[in-house]
Structure 1
Amino acid sequence: MMARSDVLEAVVLGTEFFRRGVDALPDEALKGESLLPGWSRAHVVAHVGFNALAIGRLAQWAATGVESPMFASVEARNAEIADGALLSSDELRELFDESAVALDRYWREIPESRWEHPVRNGQGTVVPVSETLWMRAREVWIHGVDLNVGTSFADIPAAVLERILGDIKGVWQARGESSIRLRVVDAGRAYSGAADAGVQVSGSLAALTAWAAGRGSVGVSSGAWAPAAAPRWV
């Protein structure tokens, strides 16, 4: 388990990683294709910006005790992203920068005694507000790759990759997807899954995490074949 200070550092570094990706894009390229089907880079930037504000609402909930959900509904969230993708390049860059600053401020306003205050994440699950740090770290690192600027999961720190992969396996197991065993070849160990699992998928930690997160099968194998798409996790 990562300490809160380590997760906060992952947020800071992940935010810088995402910002470098945005800064590398000329204005017109922001409307180009991301690595997410059906989403432009503008969709990704808008989503990450609005995600900061949504997580900020959870931080305010914890700080004040007044319930403030991430978003009114899934439909409202999707509409917000669609509208955000139509913003100008300057507005998108401003949205990302200002929302990141606002989220940091909201976190700083949480009294130490309230960091375990329960809030509900986007799936409706009750979690301590301290979990929002990790929610944000995961968001900026994964979507920093989705910007399609030449980065990959190999650019994500190992500790972050391990926790992302652990999250995904936890979702699979909760859904009864126990037939997959992951073998991390650069760590020389099986990550998780039953020894007699029907499918074993092997690859580096970065490649396995990318595959498990639904980002392709480059660098992973299942016997002599490339594995099928991983089960959904979100």
Structure 2
Amino acid sequence: MESWLKDLLTQIDEATAKLIASADGLTDKQVSEPSLLSGWSRGHVLTHIARAAEAHRNLLEAVGTGTDIPAYASQEARDTSIENGASRPLAEQVADIERTAAAFRAAAVTTPDDAWTTSVTILHLEPFPASQVVLRKLVELELHHVDLNAGYRPADWPVTFKPLELPEPMRSQATDRMSWFATK
């Protein structure tokens, strides 16, 4: 396994463990309370993390097998899935994140070396190399952990995450989260 992939997967494993620890500190009632994302509960954020892991896995399976597997069937299907999953009990939310994280990791470690330069896309985004899928998974975890509104803040991001050169729109999204907690 290439060192860049091993490093990112280690960071993803650590970010997943921290997210699950934060989620485990919530109650079923708290899962229905607001996140930091307008119109989304904590359950929406948790469900989105799991569905995004599936989308990222789909992209890696597509480049690994040479088949056309979209990240999401459609924007509507993505949104409906998140909405339908948001009200699930905490235990189901956490189990979903654990399951989809493991499936993503399995896809990442079996992606052939020559597939990482293949272009992929998610819904309306511009195409990007498959190697960015792993980075996007890490960014999803770190940013949405903040969005969960469970005490995790940009100041808690690991020192390995802060200096990453993030392409757009991830760079702007990270900057947004930092601005939410900037002291004046």
The TM-score normalised by the length of structure 1 is 0.69
Query: How far is the alpha carbon of 1:38 from its aligned partner?
Result: 1.0
Inter-partner Cα distance in structure 2 for 1:117 and 1:27: 41
Query: How far is the alpha carbon of 1:216 from its aligned partner?
Result: 4.5
Kept in 2, the 8 Å contact 1:17–1:141? The answer is no
User: Which residue number corresponds to residue 158 of structure 1?
Assistant: 159
User: Which residue number corresponds to residue 102 of structure 2?
Assistant: 101
Shift in CA distance, 169/68, structure 1 to aligned 2, threshold 3 Å: closer
Of 199, 215, 218 in structure 1, the residue corresponding to residue 181 of structure 2 is 218
Higher strand share: 1
| Per-residue CA distance 1:128-159 (angstroms, 9 max, x = gap) | 21111100000001111111111210010234
- Matched positions, count: 182
Inter-partner Cα distance in structure 2 for 1:220 and 1:110: 42
What does 1:35-184 align with in structure 2 at a 5 Å threshold? 35-163=36-164, 166-168=166-168
Higher helix share: 2
Structure 1 portions without partners, runs of 5+: 173-208, 222-234
Structure 2 portions without partners, runs of 5+: none
Kept in 1, the 8 Å contact 2:11–2:138? The answer is yes
Shift in CA distance, 217/85, structure 1 to aligned 2, threshold 3 Å: closer
Structure of higher CA gyration radius: 1
Query: How far is the alpha carbon of 1:26 from its aligned partner?
Result: 1.9
Q: Comparing 38-47 with 16-25, which one deviates more in the overlay?
A: 16-25
The TM-score normalised by the length of structure 2 is 0.87
Greater relative contact order: 1 or 2 (C-alpha under 8 angstroms, separation 6 or more)? 2
Kept in 2, the 8 Å contact 1:31–1:42? The answer is yes
| Per-residue CA distance 1:145-199 (angstroms, 9 max, x = gap) | 11111121001023422336x4358977xxxxxxxxxxxxxxxxxxxxxxxxxxx
Aligned-residue Cα RMSD (Å) equals 2.4
Inter-partner Cα distance in structure 1 for 2:51 and 2:170: 26
Inter-partner Cα distance in structure 2 for 1:15 and 1:116: 25
